[in-house]
Amino acid sequence: MRVIGTVGLAGSGKGEFAAVAREVGVPVVTMGDVIRAECRDRGLDPADHHGAVARALREEHGPAAIAERSLPLVREALTDAAAVLVDGLRSDVEVDAFEDAFGDDFSLVSVEAPYEVREERVVDRGRDNTDRETLAERDARELGFGMGRAMDRADLVVANVDSLERLRDRARSVIEDGVDAVPGDEGYDWRESPGAEAAEAAGTDGDAT
């Protein structure tokens, strides 16, 4: 049994891990889907209320609420598969939840890239509200959840600054053979994101200094 979690700020490329997992037949549990489902249950548009509902879930049910709602989905997937990929952990508390549930069978991969590179990717996606300020605001929100502390706890760092092919090759190796099959990269300190400064100013991430 192998449960692989991914963590990374917007534009880092962590979604490619999920894409590769699906291509090789490994089930993917996307934590964002839990939030989107909750948005729909509340009669809200996920596109407009994703962040607010994520905060509400954590405030109403505790900081591990989204991870706890994902655990049954992971266990169900493991009944028919030897490995599952969990896409999009957001905090160190969520890492705790998966480590408590799966022990040494859980590993965490942090996909990282410099802020400027992530900014270009987000703009290239053609989404609305993708200027530097809003990306920084999104970083601040996610770092406020504790994403930076989760990234610091990763078993493997994958730097996504080269070709897409390199990222996908490394993702495939991790998914098929585990994190020990891939040499780690030097990461990019999340504390250098403009969003880290905003999170620190707001007092939402005490490790942002």
Q: What are phi and psi of 3, to 5 degrees?
A: -115, 120
How confident is the model over 32-54, as pLDDT tens digits?
A: 889 999 999 999 999 899 889 98
Its CATH architecture, for the domain 2-113+154-186, is 3-Layer(aba) Sandwich (3.40)
Length of the chain in residues, anyone?
209
Neighbours of 77 (CB within 10 A): 18
Cα–Cα distance measured from residue 26 to residue 49, given in angstroms and rounded to the nearest whole number? 30
pTM here?
0.88
Q: What percent of the chain has pLDDT over 70?
A: 92
Q: Where are the domains of the chain?
A: 2-113+154-186
How confident is the model over 129-171, as pLDDT tens digits?
A: 544 458 888 899 899 889 999 999 999 999 999 999 999 999 9
Determine the average pLDDT of the residues in 90-105.
97
**Where do runs of H (alpha helix) occur along 8-61?**
15-23, 31-41, 46-61
